[in-house]
Amino acid sequence: MNKTKEKRRFIWICLAPATILFTVFMIIPTINVFWMSTLKWGGLSANKTFVGFNNFITAFQDMNFIHALQNTILIIAVVTVITMALAIIFASILVREKIKGQNFFRIIFYIPNILSVVVISSIFGAIYDSSNNGLLNSMISLFKPETWETIQFLGNQDIVLYAVIGALVWQAIGYYMVMYMASMSSIPEHLYESASLDGAGKFRQFFSITLPMIWDNIRTTLTFFVISTINISFLLVNALTSGGPDGASQTVLGYIYKQAYNNASYGYGMAIAAIVFIFSFVLSFILNKSTERDPIEL
């Protein structure tokens, strides 16, 4: 009897601190996002009035929000396709081919992943610099010295989003490549041997063995990739362009910050947060369902 009591006490003492911290700083704030989204709240003034779904209706009539949402969707689509394709291809090359310096490449490709988003945005600030000192501009001017006008990578509304996409691909590719390399190297070698005896070429082997064998891994990473792209694109854009010029690179999460801190309209900001939150879940659910394949029997 005493023993079970002691055990119960031990269990709850172990669980309590983590549960309390997790509840206070994650669960309650998350609930608050949804609760606050139904309020008209001017921020510093304590005036909070319940307005139901009004904030949501406003959001879908707010062209700035729609624009930010479009930007985010474009970023997700392009970054996901490019990063995934390149990461899978590079991983399969590094695992399948006898490449000299394989380890070297792996180490280098992973570097962007250990850098702070602020560091990455400073680096890309230097790369995209519109003066002649900019890394890209000075490189291009080598080939076109006379008539060359520098490109405003971050100052041109038509280019800025692609500049952001370039930075996002740059920072994500190594991480996913290393991940796929790990799962590809566990594919049994005899599959490739028998395939090549049957006369299957490298491309055929890639599509018939490598891809199907790591499909489950691709599916999981795809779901997480979409969610993390929403987040990292915000962190990067916030540091690199703060959504400019004129909202051309604004992301949905960045728009929340603008509403919350510049306009102090917390209720409206949180309504948008709730929309994005639900949007990201629906999107990853759809991705998860649509990529479902029958498991492979070996």
Partner 1 sequence: MKKKFDNVDRLYKVFIYVALITLAISIIVPVAWVFMASIKENKEFYSNPWALPAGFYFQNFINAFEKASMGSYFFNSVISTALALIILLVVSLPASYVLARYKFKGKRILNTLFMAGLFINVNYIVVPIFLMLMGWDDTLNISFFLDNIVVLAVVYASTAIPFTVYLLSSYFQTLPKAYEEAALIDGCGYFKTMIKVMIPMAKPSIVTVILFNFLAFWNEYIIALTLMSGSNRTLPVGLLALMQASRGKAEYGMMYAGLVIVMLPTLILYIMVQKKLTQGMTLGGLKD
Residues 125-144 that bind partner 1 (CB under 8 A): 125-127, 132-135, 138
Q: Which stretch binds partner 1 (CB under 8 A): 70-78, 101-109, 190-198, 206-214?
A: 101-109
Contact between 255 and partner 1 per CB under 8 A: no
Contact between 122 and partner 1 per CB under 8 A: yes
SS3 label, residue 163: helix
SS3 labels along 249-293: CCCHHHHHHHHHHHCCCHHHHHHHHHHHHHHHHHHHHHHHHHCCC
Minimum separation from the CB atom of position 277 to partner 1 (A): 6
H helix or E strand, kind and range, residue 41:
strand 39-41
Restricting to residues 38-77, which ones interact with partner 1 according to CB under 8 A? none
Restricting to residues 140-199, which ones interact with partner 1 according to CB under 8 A? 170, 173-175, 178-179, 182-183
Instruction: Tell me the backbone φ, ψ of residue 48, rounded to 5 degrees.
Output: -125, 120
Which residues, other chains included, contact 142 with Cβ-Cβ below 8 Å and sequence gap of 6+? none
Contact between 226 and partner 1 per CB under 8 A: no
**From 47, 70, 116, 194, residue interacting with partner 1 (rule: CB under 8 A):** 116
Contact between 33 and partner 1 per CB under 8 A: yes
39: β partners: 50
Contact between 282 and partner 1 per CB under 8 A: no
Minimum separation from the CB atom of position 261 to partner 1 (A): 8
Minimum separation from the CB atom of position 156 to partner 1 (A): 17
Q: Where are the alpha helices (DSSP H) in the chain?
A: 2-22, 28-36, 54-61, 63-96, 102-110, 117-127, 135-143, 160-184, 189-197, 202-205, 211-213, 215-240, 252-257, 266-290
**From 2, 5, 18, 262, residue interacting with partner 1 (rule: CB under 8 A):** 18
Contact between 257 and partner 1 per CB under 8 A: yes
Minimum separation from the CB atom of position 122 to partner 1 (A): 5
Contact between 205 and partner 1 per CB under 8 A: no
The amino acid present at 33, given as its one-letter code, is: V
**From 57, 85, 111, 286, residue interacting with partner 1 (rule: CB under 8 A):** 111
Cβ-count burial of 264 within 10 angstroms (0-12 exposed, 13-18 middle, 19+ buried)?
middle
Residue closer to partner 1 (CB basis): 33 or 211: 33
- Tell the residue number behind the tokens 């909202």, with chain if given: 247
Minimum separation from the CB atom of position 100 to partner 1 (A): 8
Contact between 238 and partner 1 per CB under 8 A: yes
Contact between 296 and partner 1 per CB under 8 A: no
* 130 within 8 A of 150, measured Cβ to Cβ: yes
